[in-house]
Structure 1
Amino acid sequence: MHIRKAVSSDAEELSALLNEIIRAGGTTALETPLSAAEFADWFIDGEFPLACHVAEHNQSLVGFQSLSLYGDPPKGVADIATFARLNPKTAGVGSALFPATLAAAEAFGLEFINATIRADNISGLGYYAKMGFETYDRVAQVPLQDGMPVDRIKKRYSVNAMGGTTPRA
Protein backbone atom coordinates (compact mmCIF):
# COMPACT_ATOMS: atom_id res chain seq x y z
CA MET A 1 0.00 0.00 0.00
CA HIS A 2 1.34 3.43 -0.96
CA ILE A 3 0.51 6.56 1.07
CA ARG A 4 0.77 10.03 -0.46
CA LYS A 5 -0.73 13.51 -0.18
CA ALA A 6 -4.09 13.93 -1.88
CA VAL A 7 -4.25 16.23 -4.90
CA SER A 8 -7.24 17.91 -6.52
CA SER A 9 -7.34 15.35 -9.32
CA ASP A 10 -8.11 12.66 -6.69
CA ALA A 11 -11.41 14.33 -5.80
CA GLU A 12 -13.54 12.46 -8.34
CA GLU A 13 -12.42 8.99 -7.21
CA LEU A 14 -12.43 9.94 -3.52
CA SER A 15 -15.88 11.51 -3.64
CA ALA A 16 -17.20 8.27 -5.20
CA LEU A 17 -15.53 6.28 -2.38
CA LEU A 18 -17.02 8.60 0.27
CA ASN A 19 -20.46 8.69 -1.35
CA GLU A 20 -20.63 4.88 -1.27
CA ILE A 21 -20.00 5.04 2.49
CA ILE A 22 -22.61 7.79 2.93
CA ARG A 23 -25.20 5.80 0.96
CA ALA A 24 -24.49 2.67 3.02
CA GLY A 25 -25.15 4.69 6.19
CA GLY A 26 -24.38 3.90 9.78
CA THR A 27 -20.73 4.93 10.00
CA THR A 28 -20.40 8.59 9.09
CA ALA A 29 -22.09 11.74 10.34
CA LEU A 30 -22.13 12.85 6.68
CA GLU A 31 -25.51 12.09 5.18
CA THR A 32 -25.51 13.96 1.87
CA PRO A 33 -23.25 12.85 -1.02
CA LEU A 34 -20.58 15.31 -2.16
CA SER A 35 -19.67 16.32 -5.69
CA ALA A 36 -15.99 16.11 -6.63
CA ALA A 37 -15.72 19.91 -6.27
CA GLU A 38 -17.32 19.82 -2.81
CA PHE A 39 -15.03 16.97 -1.82
CA ALA A 40 -11.93 18.91 -2.90
CA ASP A 41 -13.11 21.95 -0.94
CA TRP A 42 -13.92 19.98 2.22
CA PHE A 43 -10.93 17.65 2.29
CA ILE A 44 -8.10 18.73 -0.04
CA ASP A 45 -7.70 22.40 -0.90
CA GLY A 46 -10.48 24.45 0.69
CA GLU A 47 -10.37 26.89 3.58
CA PHE A 48 -10.42 24.31 6.40
CA PRO A 49 -8.33 21.24 5.43
CA LEU A 50 -4.80 21.10 6.84
CA ALA A 51 -3.75 17.78 5.30
CA CYS A 52 -5.25 14.90 3.40
CA HIS A 53 -3.50 11.66 2.57
CA VAL A 54 -4.64 8.82 0.35
CA ALA A 55 -3.89 5.12 0.35
CA GLU A 56 -3.30 3.52 -3.06
CA HIS A 57 -3.48 -0.21 -3.62
CA ASN A 58 -3.54 -2.05 -6.95
CA GLN A 59 -3.69 1.27 -8.82
CA SER A 60 -6.80 2.55 -7.10
CA LEU A 61 -7.48 4.77 -4.13
CA VAL A 62 -8.68 2.62 -1.23
CA GLY A 63 -9.01 5.27 1.45
CA PHE A 64 -8.14 8.69 2.76
CA GLN A 65 -7.55 10.49 6.03
CA SER A 66 -7.76 14.21 6.62
CA LEU A 67 -7.00 16.81 9.25
CA SER A 68 -9.30 19.82 9.27
CA LEU A 69 -10.07 23.00 11.16
CA TYR A 70 -13.75 22.89 10.15
CA GLY A 71 -16.06 23.98 12.96
CA ASP A 72 -13.43 26.26 14.53
CA PRO A 73 -11.79 23.81 16.97
CA PRO A 74 -9.70 25.20 19.85
CA LYS A 75 -6.17 26.40 19.05
CA GLY A 76 -3.81 23.44 18.79
CA VAL A 77 -6.57 20.99 17.82
CA ALA A 78 -7.67 19.62 14.44
CA ASP A 79 -10.32 17.08 13.52
CA ILE A 80 -9.46 13.81 11.84
CA ALA A 81 -11.65 11.93 9.39
CA THR A 82 -10.84 8.46 8.08
CA PHE A 83 -12.60 6.62 5.26
CA ALA A 84 -11.81 3.30 3.59
CA ARG A 85 -13.41 1.83 0.47
CA LEU A 86 -16.27 -0.54 1.25
CA ASN A 87 -16.06 -2.67 -1.89
CA PRO A 88 -13.63 -4.22 -2.35
CA LYS A 89 -12.43 -3.83 1.23
CA THR A 90 -8.69 -3.52 1.79
CA ALA A 91 -7.38 -4.37 5.25
CA GLY A 92 -5.15 -1.93 7.11
CA VAL A 93 -6.00 1.29 5.26
CA GLY A 94 -6.52 3.44 8.36
CA SER A 95 -3.45 2.05 10.10
CA ALA A 96 -1.34 2.73 7.00
CA LEU A 97 -2.62 6.33 6.75
CA PHE A 98 -2.21 7.36 10.38
CA PRO A 99 1.61 7.85 10.48
CA ALA A 100 1.38 10.40 7.64
CA THR A 101 -1.49 12.19 9.37
CA LEU A 102 0.39 12.20 12.68
CA ALA A 103 3.49 13.62 10.97
CA ALA A 104 1.32 16.40 9.49
CA ALA A 105 -0.19 17.11 12.93
CA GLU A 106 3.31 17.39 14.38
CA ALA A 107 4.42 19.68 11.53
CA PHE A 108 1.43 21.96 12.21
CA GLY A 109 2.33 22.03 15.91
CA LEU A 110 -0.97 20.51 17.03
CA GLU A 111 -1.46 19.43 20.62
CA PHE A 112 -4.39 17.10 19.96
CA ILE A 113 -6.14 15.35 17.11
CA ASN A 114 -9.89 15.11 17.72
CA ALA A 115 -12.08 12.32 16.36
CA THR A 116 -15.86 12.58 16.69
CA ILE A 117 -17.42 9.19 15.98
CA ARG A 118 -21.03 8.07 15.87
CA ALA A 119 -21.72 5.83 18.87
CA ASP A 120 -23.18 3.20 16.53
CA ASN A 121 -19.98 3.09 14.42
CA ILE A 122 -18.37 0.13 16.18
CA SER A 123 -15.57 -0.27 13.62
CA GLY A 124 -14.71 3.45 13.78
CA LEU A 125 -14.61 3.43 17.58
CA GLY A 126 -12.38 0.35 17.48
CA TYR A 127 -10.06 1.89 14.90
CA TYR A 128 -9.46 5.08 16.85
CA ALA A 129 -8.96 3.14 20.11
CA LYS A 130 -6.40 0.94 18.32
CA MET A 131 -4.55 4.07 17.14
CA GLY A 132 -4.30 5.31 20.73
CA PHE A 133 -7.17 7.83 20.86
CA GLU A 134 -8.77 8.22 24.28
CA THR A 135 -12.43 9.07 24.93
CA TYR A 136 -12.90 12.45 26.59
CA ASP A 137 -16.51 13.46 25.89
CA ARG A 138 -19.87 12.31 24.60
CA VAL A 139 -22.45 14.43 22.78
CA ALA A 140 -25.86 12.91 23.46
CA GLN A 141 -28.72 12.44 21.05
CA VAL A 142 -27.52 14.26 17.92
CA PRO A 143 -30.34 13.86 15.40
CA LEU A 144 -29.68 12.42 11.95
CA GLN A 145 -31.55 13.87 8.95
CA ASP A 146 -34.38 11.40 9.55
CA GLY A 147 -34.65 12.58 13.17
CA MET A 148 -33.13 9.47 14.75
CA PRO A 149 -30.87 10.51 17.67
CA VAL A 150 -27.35 9.05 17.76
CA ASP A 151 -24.70 9.93 20.35
CA ARG A 152 -21.29 11.12 19.22
CA ILE A 153 -18.17 9.89 21.03
CA LYS A 154 -15.29 12.36 21.14
CA LYS A 155 -11.81 10.87 21.27
CA ARG A 156 -8.47 12.63 21.18
CA TYR A 157 -4.90 11.74 20.45
CA SER A 158 -2.17 13.66 22.22
CA VAL A 159 0.40 14.79 19.67
CA ASN A 160 3.98 15.04 20.84
CA ALA A 161 5.50 17.71 18.64
CA MET A 162 8.94 16.41 19.65
CA GLY A 163 8.37 13.31 17.53
CA GLY A 164 8.09 10.82 20.41
CA THR A 165 4.46 9.83 19.92
CA THR A 166 3.84 6.65 17.97
CA PRO A 167 0.54 4.95 17.21
CA ARG A 168 -0.24 1.56 18.69
CA ALA A 169 0.04 -1.46 16.42
Structure 2
Amino acid sequence: MHVRRAVAADAQELCGLLNEIIAAGGTTALETPLSAAEFADWFIDGEFPLVCHVAEHDRSLAGFQSLSLYGDPPKGYADIATFARMSPKISGVGRALFPATRAAAEELGLEFINATIRADNVSGIAYYTKMGFEPYDRLIQVPLLDGTPVDRIKKRFRIHSRPASSM
Protein backbone atom coordinates (compact mmCIF):
# COMPACT_ATOMS: atom_id res chain seq x y z
CA MET A 1 0.00 0.00 0.00
CA HIS A 2 1.32 3.42 -0.99
CA VAL A 3 0.39 6.58 0.96
CA ARG A 4 0.57 10.04 -0.61
CA ARG A 5 -1.06 13.47 -0.34
CA ALA A 6 -4.47 13.76 -1.95
CA VAL A 7 -4.84 16.04 -4.97
CA ALA A 8 -7.95 17.56 -6.54
CA ALA A 9 -7.90 14.88 -9.26
CA ASP A 10 -8.60 12.27 -6.53
CA ALA A 11 -11.89 13.90 -5.53
CA GLN A 12 -14.17 11.95 -7.89
CA GLU A 13 -12.90 8.50 -6.83
CA LEU A 14 -12.73 9.41 -3.14
CA CYS A 15 -16.21 10.93 -3.29
CA GLY A 16 -17.56 7.62 -4.62
CA LEU A 17 -15.80 5.75 -1.80
CA LEU A 18 -17.26 8.12 0.81
CA ASN A 19 -20.76 8.14 -0.67
CA GLU A 20 -20.84 4.33 -0.51
CA ILE A 21 -20.07 4.55 3.22
CA ILE A 22 -22.72 7.25 3.72
CA ALA A 23 -25.31 5.14 1.87
CA ALA A 24 -24.53 2.09 4.02
CA GLY A 25 -25.07 4.19 7.19
CA GLY A 26 -24.08 3.48 10.75
CA THR A 27 -20.44 4.56 10.78
CA THR A 28 -20.22 8.21 9.80
CA ALA A 29 -21.90 11.35 11.03
CA LEU A 30 -22.21 12.34 7.37
CA GLU A 31 -25.66 11.42 6.12
CA THR A 32 -25.99 13.24 2.79
CA PRO A 33 -23.93 12.23 -0.27
CA LEU A 34 -21.40 14.77 -1.54
CA SER A 35 -20.54 15.85 -5.06
CA ALA A 36 -16.89 15.63 -6.14
CA ALA A 37 -16.63 19.44 -5.84
CA GLU A 38 -18.03 19.36 -2.29
CA PHE A 39 -15.67 16.51 -1.42
CA ALA A 40 -12.64 18.48 -2.65
CA ASP A 41 -13.79 21.54 -0.67
CA TRP A 42 -14.41 19.57 2.54
CA PHE A 43 -11.34 17.31 2.48
CA ILE A 44 -8.66 18.47 0.03
CA ASP A 45 -8.41 22.14 -0.87
CA GLY A 46 -11.18 24.15 0.78
CA GLU A 47 -11.06 26.63 3.65
CA PHE A 48 -10.90 24.08 6.49
CA PRO A 49 -8.78 21.06 5.39
CA LEU A 50 -5.17 21.08 6.58
CA VAL A 51 -4.01 17.87 4.92
CA CYS A 52 -5.50 14.79 3.31
CA HIS A 53 -3.66 11.57 2.55
CA VAL A 54 -4.79 8.68 0.37
CA ALA A 55 -3.82 5.01 0.45
CA GLU A 56 -3.37 3.46 -2.97
CA HIS A 57 -3.70 -0.28 -3.52
CA ASP A 58 -3.60 -2.02 -6.91
CA ARG A 59 -3.96 1.28 -8.80
CA SER A 60 -7.07 2.39 -6.95
CA LEU A 61 -7.70 4.48 -3.86
CA ALA A 62 -8.35 2.27 -0.85
CA GLY A 63 -9.10 5.08 1.59
CA PHE A 64 -8.23 8.51 2.89
CA GLN A 65 -7.53 10.36 6.11
CA SER A 66 -7.81 14.10 6.62
CA LEU A 67 -7.09 16.71 9.23
CA SER A 68 -9.25 19.83 9.26
CA LEU A 69 -10.26 22.85 11.26
CA TYR A 70 -13.94 22.44 10.42
CA GLY A 71 -16.20 23.36 13.35
CA ASP A 72 -13.60 25.70 14.90
CA PRO A 73 -11.75 23.24 17.19
CA PRO A 74 -9.78 24.62 20.15
CA LYS A 75 -6.34 26.13 19.45
CA GLY A 76 -3.78 23.38 18.93
CA TYR A 77 -6.41 20.82 17.83
CA ALA A 78 -7.45 19.51 14.42
CA ASP A 79 -10.16 17.00 13.61
CA ILE A 80 -9.36 13.71 11.91
CA ALA A 81 -11.59 11.77 9.52
CA THR A 82 -10.73 8.29 8.27
CA PHE A 83 -12.55 6.35 5.57
CA ALA A 84 -11.70 3.04 3.90
CA ARG A 85 -13.27 1.47 0.83
CA MET A 86 -16.11 -0.91 1.71
CA SER A 87 -15.94 -3.05 -1.43
CA PRO A 88 -13.58 -4.63 -1.92
CA LYS A 89 -12.54 -4.25 1.72
CA ILE A 90 -8.79 -3.87 2.13
CA SER A 91 -7.25 -4.51 5.52
CA GLY A 92 -4.85 -2.04 7.12
CA VAL A 93 -5.83 1.16 5.29
CA GLY A 94 -6.21 3.24 8.47
CA ARG A 95 -2.98 1.87 9.96
CA ALA A 96 -1.13 2.76 6.74
CA LEU A 97 -2.50 6.32 6.69
CA PHE A 98 -2.01 7.36 10.32
CA PRO A 99 1.82 7.79 10.35
CA ALA A 100 1.58 10.34 7.50
CA THR A 101 -1.28 12.17 9.24
CA ARG A 102 0.59 12.20 12.53
CA ALA A 103 3.74 13.55 10.84
CA ALA A 104 1.68 16.30 9.18
CA ALA A 105 0.14 17.20 12.56
CA GLU A 106 3.64 17.52 14.02
CA GLU A 107 4.75 19.73 11.11
CA LEU A 108 1.67 21.91 11.63
CA GLY A 109 2.55 22.35 15.30
CA LEU A 110 -0.64 20.74 16.56
CA GLU A 111 -0.95 19.59 20.15
CA PHE A 112 -3.86 17.15 19.67
CA ILE A 113 -5.71 15.31 16.96
CA ASN A 114 -9.42 15.00 17.79
CA ALA A 115 -11.67 12.18 16.62
CA THR A 116 -15.42 12.45 17.14
CA ILE A 117 -16.94 9.01 16.58
CA ARG A 118 -20.54 7.83 16.59
CA ALA A 119 -21.03 5.63 19.66
CA ASP A 120 -22.55 2.92 17.43
CA ASN A 121 -19.44 2.83 15.21
CA VAL A 122 -17.70 -0.07 16.94
CA SER A 123 -14.98 -0.45 14.30
CA GLY A 124 -14.20 3.29 14.35
CA ILE A 125 -13.89 3.33 18.15
CA ALA A 126 -11.61 0.28 18.00
CA TYR A 127 -9.45 1.83 15.25
CA TYR A 128 -8.83 5.09 17.09
CA THR A 129 -8.12 3.21 20.33
CA LYS A 130 -5.50 1.08 18.52
CA MET A 131 -3.90 4.26 17.15
CA GLY A 132 -3.49 5.59 20.72
CA PHE A 133 -6.43 7.98 20.99
CA GLU A 134 -7.86 8.42 24.48
CA PRO A 135 -11.46 9.35 25.36
CA TYR A 136 -12.00 12.78 26.89
CA ASP A 137 -15.62 13.79 26.25
CA ARG A 138 -18.99 12.54 25.04
CA LEU A 139 -21.76 14.37 23.21
CA ILE A 140 -25.06 12.96 24.37
CA GLN A 141 -27.87 11.99 21.97
CA VAL A 142 -26.96 14.01 18.89
CA PRO A 143 -29.88 13.49 16.50
CA LEU A 144 -29.40 11.99 13.05
CA LEU A 145 -31.39 13.46 10.14
CA ASP A 146 -34.26 11.07 10.92
CA GLY A 147 -34.25 12.19 14.57
CA THR A 148 -32.58 9.05 15.98
CA PRO A 149 -30.35 10.12 18.90
CA VAL A 150 -26.78 8.76 18.79
CA ASP A 151 -24.01 9.69 21.22
CA ARG A 152 -20.66 10.90 19.88
CA ILE A 153 -17.45 9.84 21.62
CA LYS A 154 -14.60 12.33 21.53
CA LYS A 155 -11.10 10.86 21.60
CA ARG A 156 -7.82 12.68 21.22
CA PHE A 157 -4.26 11.83 20.36
CA ARG A 158 -1.50 13.87 21.99
CA ILE A 159 1.16 14.76 19.42
CA HIS A 160 3.99 15.30 21.91
CA SER A 161 4.37 14.73 25.59
CA ARG A 162 5.14 18.04 27.18
CA PRO A 163 8.21 18.19 29.42
CA ALA A 164 7.54 19.09 33.02
CA SER A 165 7.89 22.83 33.50
CA SER A 166 10.40 24.08 35.98
CA MET A 167 9.77 27.06 38.22
Q: TM-score range by the shorter chain?
A: over 0.9
Q: Do 1:63 and 1:85's aligned partners in 2 also have CA atoms closer than 8 Å? A: yes
Q: Measure the CA separation in 1 of the matches of 2:51 and 2:37.
A: 17
Equivalence for 1:121:
121
Alpha-carbon displacement from aligned partner over 1:48-67 (angstroms, at most 9, x marks no partner): 00000000000000000000
Query: Counterparts of 1:1-169 in structure 2 under 5 Å?
Result: 1-160=1-160
Q: Measure the CA separation in 2 of the matches of 1:58 and 1:41.
A: 26
Q: Measure the CA separation in 2 of the matches of 1:29 and 1:149.
A: 12
Q: Measure the CA separation in 2 of the matches of 1:89 and 1:124.
A: 15
Alpha-carbon displacement from aligned partner over 1:100-119 (angstroms, at most 9, x marks no partner): 00000000000000000000
TM-score, normalised to structure 2, is 0.96
- Size of the alignment, in residue pairs? 162
**Alpha-carbon distance, 1:161 to partner:** 8.3
Give runs of ≥4 in structure 1 deviating > 6 Å.
none
Q: Report the AA paired with residue 29 of structure 1.
A: A
Segment of structure 1 superposing worse, 55-64 or 153-162: 153-162
1:132 match: secondary structure = coil
RMSD: 1.0
Q: Report the AA paired with residue 96 of structure 2.
A: A
Q: Measure the CA separation in 2 of the matches of 1:107 and 1:34.
A: 29
- Percent identity for Structure 1 against Structure 2: 78
Q: Measure the CA separation in 1 of the matches of 2:74 and 2:134.
A: 18
Q: Measure the CA separation in 2 of the matches of 1:86 and 1:73.
A: 29
Q: Measure the CA separation in 2 of the matches of 1:28 and 1:115.
A: 12
Q: Measure the CA separation in 2 of the matches of 1:99 and 1:161.
A: 17
Q: Measure the CA separation in 2 of the matches of 1:155 and 1:61.
A: 26
Q: Report the AA paired with residue 75 of structure 2.
A: K
2:86 match: secondary structure = coil
Q: Measure the CA separation in 2 of the matches of 1:73 and 1:130.
A: 23
Q: Do 1:110 and 1:161's aligned partners in 2 also have CA atoms closer than 8 Å? A: no
Q: Do 1:76 and 1:110's aligned partners in 2 also have CA atoms closer than 8 Å? A: yes
Unaligned runs of 5+ in 1: 163-169
Bigger Rg over Cα:
2
Q: Report the AA paired with residue 17 of structure 1.
A: L
Q: Do 1:102 and 1:159's aligned partners in 2 also have CA atoms closer than 8 Å? A: yes
Q: Report the AA paired with residue 97 of structure 2.
A: L
